[in-house]
Structures are given as C-alpha cells and as structure tokens.
Chains A and B, each alone.
Chain A
C-alpha cells in the first residue's frame, strides 16, 4: 500500500510541474520546453526564465509547436510541450498522430486545465475527451497525476522513459495526498486503501474524492478498496483483475468523459472476466460555465456520488 491521506494542504499541480521541470532542466541539458502563449497559466514560464535558450514560446500555434517538438526530439532533445488540454490534444491531434506518435518521438505533452473544474471559461475550454484521444494513439502513454507531489515524480519518470507521453492536470488547487517519494512507476497502480466490498479505481484529482468516499463508506461499515490509477495507458491490468477478483464490484472515477478514458481502460482490462462496474465521469455531454466546486457537484463527481453509487451497487449485488 502507498501512504496517502487528505490533508488541509492545497497545492496546484501546475506548481509541481513547474518545479519538477526546473529541477530537470538543471540535471539534463537536453530538456527543452515549448508552450503556445499559455506559459503563465501552465507555469512553464518559470523554466523559461531560468533556461531562456531552451524555452520556446511558439505563440498561438499549437500545430507548429507540436511539429517543432517532434523535430527537436529527432535531434536528441527531450521536448516538453504544454498548453491547455483542449488545445494540446484536440487542436493538434493530427500533428501528434503523424509527427509524434507514429515516429515514436521523445515528446512529452503536458497539459493543464483539463476537466470540468476549469470552471468559468465554460465548455469550449473544459476538455473532457483528451484521454480518449490520446489513449487511441499507438505508442502514446497517458498519465493523470493525483496531486502536486505526484506530478513531481511523474515528470522525471517520463523524461527518462523514451517515447511519447500525455500528462493531464486540472486548473484548480487540489489537496496534497502523498508524502514525497510516491514510487511512481509508469503503468503501475497505487493501492491506497484496502477493502473487500467494492473497489473504487480513480485517476487524477478524483482520487481525493475516492479517498473521501472511502471514509463515508467506512462510517456505514462498508469496506472499499481504493486504487489510484495514475497511468491510464497502459493501465495496470493486474491491479484491475485483482480488484475484480477480490471485491467483485468496481467503480471508476475520472474528471473526463465516461467514453474512452479510465472507465474505458478498466472495462477493457477485465472484459474477458467482467464484474459489475459503474463509470463515474462526465456523461457524454459538454460542460458549462460555473464555479468549479459547483460544477463538480452538478455533474455528479463528488465523494457523495461515489459513496451513493457504491451502496447502490452493493445492494443490487445482494439482490
């Protein structure tokens, strides 16, 4: 088990990204960073201030940014390319497909502002299908860290792992769950809580809600297993199968469409020997403007929703 608990300490994942990039910049002179006029928001600008010769603000031209990153990677650079999730994937999907994934180049696409919790900017900026797009690409690996600490582990891990990655983070501050050294490994799930009645598999900052749901269920005498799945592709199939075997019920939680993200990966992983499963996520709809916490409630992505779903599934199983 990996130690994790919800603390009062809130940190923005983007700050984790920024500090990890700078550390990496000092350690490896082949690290280059590109952005598309969102460097203050994605917080890559801090890298750019220190390593100005290795930082390229490409302007509002994501397609060109992705191609430049690919070209740099062919010459031995480790290219981090950042923007909002909606632009970093949807705006330049073909560039990622043709110039990054197909030639399997060392480009790390690190996106921020994913999910409904973007808030006020509304549906145009709330990217809910980025993991589906990136999961579908051969050679691409997809990661959604749970907190700023985990981001700090993910960044060096993917830098030393050759080939393309997609990392997604949200905009909002999120509770710090992990202590330092979370033993992040590409493709490995983290067991956070043990239980026999049901398994909650979560990714990204939804893992905090999963941990809260664990507490709510415990109060009612229900033992939930909580598995944090930072790597959505390749998903940790062994952890999924074990959860299905041990608990017989699975809930997936992600701030993403129920189509093609974690829910898709988990159901595929256990498709040969399935158990009842519910996907908590955005139900095939666009978002809207609003305050982040209100939207998360409105779209059914809270600990209460997870706990309620768990109780319903357990009741149905007992029939």
Chain B
C-alpha cells in the first residue's frame, strides 16, 4: 500500500501536466495532445517519485535516465521537466515558437533535462540500451527508463533493440509501453496487429508487467517490481489516448491536432473541475 498523500500528490501532478499539455499545444497551434495526455500519469510517477534526478544539475552523471522514444509526446515531458524545476513553467507557452528552446520534438542540446533527442520513431530503446550498458561499464547504479508508443513498436529497430537488451542481460532498463491502441491512421490492430503483445516481448527475453496506465498505485507497484527483476522489463500500460479531456479520449483526430478556441475552454474547464474534485 502506498501512502494516500503520495497517491493524491501524484494525481495532482498528472492533472497539472495535462493542463500544461492542453495549454501549450493550444498556444503553439500544433502538436500532439492525444499521446501526451495518455502518458501524464506515468510521467508524474517517474519524475516526482521513482527517478533519481536533480533539476539543478541536469547532467548529474549518476541520475536515472529517461528517454521519450515517442518524442511527439514532448508537451507532457516538457510540463514534467518545468514542474520539476529544470526551467520556468512560463517557457511552456513558447512551445514550438521560433527562437525558443522547446522544440516540437525533444532536443537534448536545447532542453535541460532531456537525456536523448528523439522524434523519428523506433530509436529510443536502442539509445536506452547504450545508456544501460554505460551504467554497468562504469559500475553505476543508474537505471534507464524508455517510454514508447504502441504504434511505434511497428518499427523494426525496436525488435533489434528488444533482442539486444535481453542478450546483454540489462536488468537496469525499464521500458514502458503507452498502449493506447491508436496510431495516426487508425486502431493499431487494424493498421498492423501488435498482438499477442506480451508474448512477443516475453519471447524476446523480457519480463512483462501489465497495468492500468492511469492508476497511480499500479504504476508505482510496476516500477517497484521492475526494479527487482533480473531481466529487462516491459511495463505495458493500458491507457486512453487523450485521457482527461472528454472529447479527446479515444479520439483519432487529436493525435496531432490542437484544440480550437472553444475546445480549449472546454478542455481547461474539465481539467479544472477534476482538480477541484481531487482537492475536494
């Protein structure tokens, strides 16, 4: 059992991430709200509980690494980084704007706290493996968290990497799959069937844990369990694309489209209401 206050605090953090996602994508006039909202709870648990990191020293050599392999969900990552103190939350208003540092997809050279540049799908797990090997070479304890999209694992490179992680017995890499079931052109199962998902990963030598990706307790338990495994671990987080905003939930059209003026007002009022209910 986790402390009730901790759960509530992480729920608040996740809600705040969602508000920043909607706000920053609306102000940018472009971006990917759906897949950003689906990972808000996972990011809250990682950045505000599980990971060892230091916003005052973003390049601290012993920090846990995080790779957002589904780089288009950058609005959620930027929100978490800003809330953690890597840069001012005011910067979130400048997402995708010329001359500002918050790029459409994460850029490690420009954004403090970003451990790997991503954007072209399928590449983050390989980079994570390199980091996990470096951790072992240097006899360090840091872990590597890689967050992937479910559509993303249609890329062949993911499976090269999956084989590689188990071959090298990398017990310090924890991959999380945002299983929201949607990709740009439709449902993952209609575009390119991913099932039997967990058996595919098990066959590649991974331990697999399945959770509700919006349940803070389940996320924390899974991260804790993954830490004890002696194999690479994949957490399949079943999520809802657009989670938290009624008209974005399960919607294909909000994969890569900002809300209109009216939709923005509605989305923010829903999230504000959820926040009030949480604070009860």
Contacts and interface: CB of A to CB of B under 8 A. Distances in A.
Say whether A and B bind each other: yes
Interface of A: 32, 53-54, 56, 58-59, 61, 63-77, 79, 94-95, 97-99, 102-104
Interface string B163-184: 1100010000000000000000
Contact of A73 (B65, B120, B124, B130): B130
B123 A69 contact: no
Contacts of B138: 75-76
B122 to A, nearest CB: 8
Contacts of A65: 126
B161 A67 contact: yes
Nearest to A104: B109
A74 B116 contact: yes
Nearest to A36: B160
Contacts of B132: 71
A71 B107 contact: no
Contacts, number: 108
Given A71-B116, A71-B131, A72-B133, 14 more contacts: A56-B168, A59-B160, A61-B157, A66-B126, A67-B124, A71-B130, A71-B133, A72-B130, A74-B116, A77-B137, A94-B123, A98-B117, A102-B107, A103-B116
27 contacts: A56-B168, A58-B160, A61-B160, A61-B163, A63-B126, A63-B160, A64-B160, A67-B124, A67-B126, A67-B129, A67-B130, A68-B130, A69-B130, A71-B126, A71-B127, A71-B129, A71-B131, A72-B131, A72-B134, A74-B65, A74-B108, A75-B130, A75-B138, A76-B61, A77-B130, A77-B137, A98-B123
Contact of B108 (A58, A61, A103): A103
Interface centre among A58, A65, A76, A103 (most CB of B within 10 A): A103
A38 to B, nearest CB: 16
Closest 6 CB pairs of A and B: A71-B130, A67-B126, A75-B134, A64-B160, A61-B160, A71-B127
Nearest to B132: A71
A95 B157 contact: yes
A102 B123 CA distance: 13
Given A32-B137, A98-B120, A70 B130 contact: yes
B128 interface: yes
Interface string B47-70: 000000000000001000100000
Contacts of B117: 98-99, 102-103
B94 to A, nearest CB: 20
A69 B129 CA distance: 9
Contacts of A61: 157, 160, 163-164
B134 A76 contact: yes
B127 A74 contact: yes
Contacts of A76: 61, 134, 138
Nearest to A68: B130
Nearest to B115: A74
B156 interface: yes
B205 interface: no
A258 to B, nearest CB: 30
B24 interface: no
Contacts of B164: 58-59, 61, 64, 68
A74 B157 contact: no
Nearest to B130: A71
Contacts of A104: 109
Interface centre among B61, B120, B160, B163 (most CB of A within 10 A): B160
Interface centre among B61, B129, B130, B134 (most CB of A within 10 A): B130
A74 B138 CA distance: 13
A74 B137 contact: no
Contacts of B65: 74
Contact of B135 (A53, A54, A58, A75): A75
A54 B137 contact: yes
B256 interface: no
B135 to A, nearest CB: 7
Contacts of A32: 137
A95 B134 contact: no
B36 interface: no
